[in-house]
Structure 1
Amino acid sequence: MSTGRTHPGTHPVDDDLVRRLIAGRFPQWAGLPVRRFPSGGTVNAVYRLGDDMLVRLPLGRGGADDVSRERTWLPRLAPHLPTLVPEVLGVGEPAEGYAWPWSVYRWLPGENPEAGALDEPELLAEDLAGFVAAMRRITLPGAPQAHRGGPVTSLDAETRAAIGELRGIPQEGVDCDAAVAVWEEALRAPGQDGPPVWLHADLMPGNLLVDGGGRLASVIDFGCMGVGDPACDLFPAWNLLPAGSREVFREALGVDDSTWVRGRGRALSQALIALPFYRTRNPSMARHARHVIREVLADEG
């Protein structure tokens, strides 16, 4: 999610536009205050609407597709999950010069967890494993393909291109030879054993909310959800959890060696691709990519 314009072709969004959209589509909410909500993401602008709702407005076509996906699937997934997930309260249409469908959700309290500053990392690891396991058990028919849910080999060209870019940015200090070794190990790992499973497919810290005790309270932003390789939902192991809690997460899920290796490679791939793109565009995303790269390359598996 984002409140800025990061990708080419994104649509400018401001408070006045949001007020006009709400008044036109949901006049019963027209008198509620609208406040920009800070976010380090890149796909949506997010606004608080009163005390109990938020408005999410895609900044481009990719985010617009997510609106339809969440509207269709979140009500079906929610009863099967152990944590709260977004509840769609209304879907808006293009208007006022804004080109995309947008959505109103019930506000979910909590804070994004921060790597290196977790109150209860082992308990959070267990909570995350419980959520991932519950997603995997879902058997709803007609599921879409998850974003990033295909075989690891589908990421090879983009990952190698990113490593090439980072070789040309020595100030980033990425051990590109080590990154290649981890990536090639993921490519050699046996593929998914069994049918595709339901995935959130974007379990980054910005899509998790924890309560005051550091426990998982809710999971948000399901725009990448669908079915695919179970390794896709292992991202928290390297993007959030410290090494000891990483093992708690793995053991709670019962992850086999090949799936773990693919998950580590996928996490590294995403960070390698993100870093050269975001390093001058989005400091928060670039900082997180550096963290994931360090964690993966320091992980002995």
Structure 2
Amino acid sequence: MTAPEIVLTADLVRDLLRDQHPDLAGLPIREVPGGWGNQMWRLGDELAVRVQRNDPTPQLQLKERQWLPVLAPRLPLPVPVPVRSGEPSERFPKHWTVMTWVPGEPLDHGTISRGEHAADTLADFLRALHAEAPADAPVSADRGAHPRDCTDGFEKFLEAVALDDLAADVRAVWDDAAAAGAWEEPPGWVHGDLHPANVVVAEGTLSGIVDFGDLFAGDPAWDLAAAWVVLPEGTAARFFERYARADESAIRRARGLAAMKSLFLILMGQNGDRGLPGGKPHWGPAGRAALDRVLKGL
């Protein structure tokens, strides 16, 4: 956590810019919705400043600085590209990054009304992203494993959420994913954290993807779970048809991972209702809707 004596404000962000990037310090600054690990400010019309908040390590921002300039040119949707680096200082002891702004609003504050278009758009984006990763690509310590190796985490989420009559159905989806075949192709690039707060929408459809701090090389099923977690009901089948690279085992793994991600969203919503740090009250309904889609299948 950020030291309690340091309050992240627009004035602090402007001071940091004056110290390290004075040519940007005169641009208008306003806070916008951020994620769990970073607080974010809009900087002028085309930039944003992401300031490390809850992330215990700078590695997530450093990873974005290294790899997003490599990946962005080949992706068919806008993604934030680092343009300036902010280093720890006496004024603020953590990392911060100036990035390009992705127009639109996060899906957890917006809606998708053009479901088929969004399904095609997400499929095309993930086909482009899921190219074979180089040998020096990052790996994940807590994501990317086969569902059967994540069962302890799934059970903790399921117990914490207390679904009562739905628990058996959700566990059945997970058990099917755990029994599915493993990913046996070379590791591909995986966003790793696709959920409503990390996809951007405009004019009723997907318009960008943000927050690549969990980027890793591994099983694309971790992203394919977005067919249920992000897309509206009735579009998962179209998504997988357009994506065209997921066999039955990958779809089963993805559906189980979507169940786990949905439970996480519900739990974060509960944390917000209790006033806990990092809680997101509006994530609860999004997680419950995603879980309903998971239980309905394709």
Classify the TM-score, shorter chain.
0.7 to 0.9
Q: Could you tell me the TM-score, scaled by structure 2's length? A: 0.87
| CA deviation after TM superposition for structure 1 residue 137, in Å | 2.2
Structure 2 match to 1:124? 118
Structure 2 match to 1:225? 215
Change (3 A) 1:217 1:116: closer
Counterpart amino acid of residue 236 in structure 2? R
The DSSP-based 3-state class of the residue aligned with 2:39 is strand
Structure 1 match to 2:59? 65
Q: Could you tell me the TM-score, scaled by structure 1's length? A: 0.87
| CA deviation after TM superposition for structure 1 residue 244, in Å | 2.8
Change (3 A) 1:51 1:130: same
| CA deviation after TM superposition for structure 1 residue 103, in Å | 0.2
2:42 matches 1:51: no
| CA deviation after TM superposition for structure 1 residue 64, in Å | 2.5
The DSSP-based 3-state class of the residue aligned with 1:104 is strand
| CA deviation after TM superposition for structure 1 residue 128, in Å | 0.6
Counterpart amino acid of residue 227 in structure 1? A
Change (3 A) 1:258 1:115: farther
Structure 1 unaligned runs (5+)?
1-8
Q: What is the total number of aligned residue pairs between the two structures? A: 286
Contact 1:238 1:292 in 2 (8 A): yes
Choose which of 136, 140, 151 in structure 1 pairs with 2:134.
140
Structure 1 match to 2:276? none
| CA deviation after TM superposition for structure 1 residue 97, in Å | 4.3
Counterpart amino acid of residue 98 in structure 1? F
CA RMSD of aligned residues (A): 2.2
Structure 2 match to 1:6? none
Counterpart amino acid of residue 266 in structure 1? L
Q: Distance in 2 between matches of 1:173 and 1:16?
A: 47
Structure 2 match to 1:294? 292
Contact 1:145 1:226 in 2 (8 A): yes
Q: Distance in 2 between matches of 1:70 and 1:185?
A: 34
Structure 2 unaligned runs (5+)?
273-279
Contact 2:269 2:283 in 1 (8 A): yes
Q: Distance in 1 between matches of 2:110 and 2:56?
A: 31
Contact 1:278 1:285 in 2 (8 A): yes
| CA deviation after TM superposition for structure 1 residue 96, in Å | 4.5
Structure 2 match to 1:210? 201
Structure 2 match to 1:112? 106
Counterpart amino acid of residue 133 in structure 1? R
Counterpart amino acid of residue 167 in structure 2? C
Which digits, 9 at most, give the CA deviation of each residue in 1:21-72, with x for residues without a partner? 1111111122222211124x31110101122211001113346321100110
Change (3 A) 1:196 1:62: farther
The DSSP-based 3-state class of the residue aligned with 2:234 is helix
| CA deviation after TM superposition for structure 1 residue 246, in Å | 1.1
